């Protein structure tokens, strides 16, 4: 196994601060999704943002109203999205399928 290069204390502090900021951002986004102030389409439009791109699709779906762990798993299976998939790794067809699934008719 290859060892990562040693980091200075300053580099460690910067990495920890960056990780904490990303967690806060993701938590805020999840709360917006839960409250309805943002939509899945709005979230997918911002997927280029590193913190959003690294969010797991299953976690995002479970945050949405009326979708729990089981329903999220069924939806992802039906749409051909792996449970480990992150938003940034979704293909165009998968995005289109998700949007179709959650867009009111």
Range of the domain at 81: 13-37+44-102
Phi, psi of 26 (to 5 degrees): -65, -40
Rg (alpha carbons) of the chain, rounded to whole number:
16
Tens digits of per-residue pLDDT, 11-37? 999 999 999 999 999 999 999 999 989
- State how far the Cα of 90 lies from the Cα of 105, in Å rounded to an integer: 23
One DSSP character per residue, 35-86 reads HTSS-HHHHHHTTTSHHHHTSBHHHHHHHSTT--HHHHHHHHHHHT--TT-B
Euclidean distance between CA atoms 105 and 51, whole angstroms: 30
In a domain, 5, yes or no: no
Identify whether 2 is part of a domain: no
**For 49, left (φ over 0), alpha (ψ -120 to 50), or beta?**
beta
45-81 per-position pLDDT tens digit? 999 988 899 999 999 999 998 889 999 999 999 999 9
On whether residue 93 sits in a domain, the answer given is yes
Considering the domain boundaries, does residue 31 fall inside one? yes
- Count of domains observed in the chain: 1
pTM above 0.75, yes or no: yes
Q: Is residue 63 part of a domain?
A: yes
Does the residue 1 lie in any domain?
Answer: no
């Amino acid at each position: 196994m290859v060892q990562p290069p040693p980091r200075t204390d300053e580099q460690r502090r910067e990495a920890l601060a960056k990780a904490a900021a990303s967690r806060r951002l993701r938590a805020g986004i999840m709360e917006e999704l839960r409250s309805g102030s943002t939509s899945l389409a709005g979230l997918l439009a911002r997927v280029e943002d590193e913190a959003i791109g690294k969010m797991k699709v299953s976690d995002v779906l479970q945050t949405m109203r009326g979708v729990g762990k089981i329903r999220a798993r069924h939806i992802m299976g039906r749409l051909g999205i792996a449970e480990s998939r992150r938003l940034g790794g979704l293909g165009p067809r998968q995005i289109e399928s998700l949007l179709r699934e959650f867009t009111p008719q």
